[in-house]
Amino acid sequence: MFRKAHILIAGRTQGALTGLSGLLDGYGGIAIDTKVHGNGHGELWRSNEPLPDALVLGIGENWHVELPPLLAALPANKPPFLVACPVNDIDLMKLAMRAGARDVVTPPYEATALAERLLELARESHQGQPTKAARMIAFINAKGGSGGSFMAVNVALDRARSLAHRVMLVDLDIQFASLSSYLNMNAGNGLIRALESADSLDTAAITGYAQKHESSLQLLTAAMSSLIAPDDIAEQRVAALFEVLGQAYDDIVVDLPRRIDRIAATVLERLDKVVLVTQQTVTHLQDTKRIFTVLRDYLGISNDRISIVINRFDRKAEVRRADFAEAFPGVDLLVVPSDFRRVAESINLGTPVIESAPGSAIGKSLKALSERVLPDLAQGEKAAGGLLSWLGVR
Ligand SMILES: Nc1ncnc2c1ncn2[C@@H]1O[C@H](COP(=O)(O)OP(=O)(O)OP(=O)(O)O)[C@@H](O)[C@H]1O
Ligand SMILES: [Mg+2]
């Protein structure tokens, strides 16, 4: 699961903190917290709070007064930290280094260099720690009916069958849940019940809420009868649920509704990969651009964490593959052909195409999609997806 690096910027005055946090704000992969340690006494964070991944002590020109109490407030098991100070002074440097600072940085602060240094320190603080967390991908359609749910089911089932992985498929389309029927399973309410007990959920309890497919695939859905509006669900519960899912499974595949609300954002920021499913019309292309902008510019999801699939691909269609390649340079682009007969049959039977027609063109393209978005790490990709995957460094 992708995890943003949590950076705490602490200092004696708000002024020093605002400038630094403004500089790093919106930098992909970083979540910033600030803390004014005004009177110079007490702790920088409570002992029951999770430690930040890295720390910046932002101080003003009056460093003689500001820095010593901040250093004294650091606990023994502090994360790696930098000191940012407008004056360049050898005594300041000595004081900071003796206390364990990795660097003292002075203006002009350069946003990218500072962000990259902090990401490096954050990675360091996680080295050697167990980082077991599922890979997590989501399918989202660029326009209703593009085929997002169809692909989520096929990919999840393929990974559950082909890899010896525990795969969880989550239907977050709370209002129009459709995944259970794609798999010929009863509509269940496990998702709502798991969210209700999110505070006390653990890896053993979560499997009690999951529905089991006859493969090893497990499913969490909200039955239509539950009449839950997405606004009724607190994002803290969604975050807690996905934390536990991340510990209990190897791969998590999420079917997201197109509406990007607080819940979707909570999921999206944890994703290793988001797969945007679209088709070949001008309005699909426009809507794909719109969602892409939201994902990248508002949620900070970098290009390498986005794949676009053109579903029902037709070589002769007016909007061509090249038009998508041009609109989304450098973004992974895949195609899946149309096959009305096989798809309709598979839905009627509740047997995904990847299983009912694996040798067909559509079956093969779904297999290729599955291998691309959730590769078999046992086949040589371990190094790329291992320890650093929590930071999205791949
Ligand atoms: N490649 C394809 N060839 C033929 N039919 C397809 C193909 N892909 C999807 N379909 C069909 O299109 C319909 C819509 O698919 P699906 O439910 O996956 O769309 P969606 O993007 O999840 O839509 P929604 O907006 O309802 O969530 C389904 O009946 C599905 O079987
Ligand atoms: Mg759908």
pLDDT in tens, 60-86: 999 999 999 999 888 888 899 999 999
Domain with CATH 3.40.50.2300 in the chain: 5-126
**Per-residue model confidence (pLDDT) at position 294:** 92
Q: How far apart are CA 157 and CA 222, in angstroms?
A: 19
The finding on whether 338 has its CB within 6 A of some atom of ligand 1 is: yes
**Per-residue model confidence (pLDDT) at position 387:** 38
Q: Are strands 5-11 and 30-36 parallel, antiparallel or unpaired?
A: parallel
The finding on whether 287 has its CB within 6 A of some atom of ligand 1 is: no
Q: Which of 205, 145, 211 is nearest to 176 (CA)?
A: 145
Do 312 and 336 touch, CB atoms closer than 8 A?
yes
Is the Cα dihedral 292, 295, 300, 306 positive or negative? negative
Q: Which of 152, 159, 196 is nearest to 178 (CA)?
A: 152
Do 352 and 336 touch, CB atoms closer than 8 A?
no
Containing 124, the helix (H) or strand (E) segment is: helix 111-126
Count CB-CB contacts under 10 A for residue 180.
Answer: 20
Question: Could you tell me the distance, in angstroms and rounded to a whole number, from the CA of residue 124 to the centre of ligand 2?
Answer: 40
Is the bond leading into 108 cis (omega within 30 degrees of zero)? Answer: yes
Do 12 and 59 touch, CB atoms closer than 8 A?
yes
Do 14 and 36 touch, CB atoms closer than 8 A?
yes
**Per-residue model confidence (pLDDT) at position 279:** 98
CATH no. of 135-389 = 3.40.50.300
Of all atoms in ligand 1, which is nearest to the CA of residue 141?
21
Strand partners, 220: 170
Residue nearest to atom 15 of ligand 1 (CA): 147
The finding on whether 278 has its CB within 6 A of some atom of ligand 1 is: no
Do 57 and 82 touch, CB atoms closer than 8 A?
yes
**Per-residue model confidence (pLDDT) at position 29:** 81
The finding on whether 147 has its CB within 6 A of some atom of ligand 1 is: yes
**Per-residue model confidence (pLDDT) at position 310:** 98
**Per-residue model confidence (pLDDT) at position 80:** 93
**Per-residue model confidence (pLDDT) at position 226:** 61
Q: Which of 215, 114, 239, 226 is nearest to 159 (CA)?
A: 215
Residues of the chain short of pLDDT 50, as ranges, are 381-394
Q: What is the pTM of this model?
A: 0.77
CATH no. of 5-126 = 3.40.50.2300
Domain with CATH 3.40.50.300 in the chain: 135-389
Tens digit of pLDDT for each residue in 191-222?
999 999 998 999 999 999 999 999 999 999 98
**Per-residue model confidence (pLDDT) at position 385:** 43
Q: How far apart are CA 20 and CA 32, in angstroms?
A: 10
Residue in the block written with tokens 């794609």: 182
Question: Could you tell me the distance, in angstroms and rounded to a whole number, from the CA of residue 244 to the centre of ligand 2?
Answer: 24
The finding on whether 158 has its CB within 6 A of some atom of ligand 1 is: no
Q: How far apart are CA 354 and CA 159, in angstroms?
A: 11
Of all atoms in ligand 1, which is nearest to the CA of residue 153?
18
The finding on whether 149 has its CB within 6 A of some atom of ligand 1 is: yes
Q: How far apart are CA 146 and CA 86, in angstroms?
A: 53
Exposure string for 51-71, b = 16+ CB within 10 A, e = fewer: bbbbbbbbbbeebeebbeebb
Residue nearest to atom 3 of ligand 1 (CA): 338
The finding on whether 144 has its CB within 6 A of some atom of ligand 1 is: yes
Q: How far apart are CA 152 and CA 256, in angstroms?
A: 9
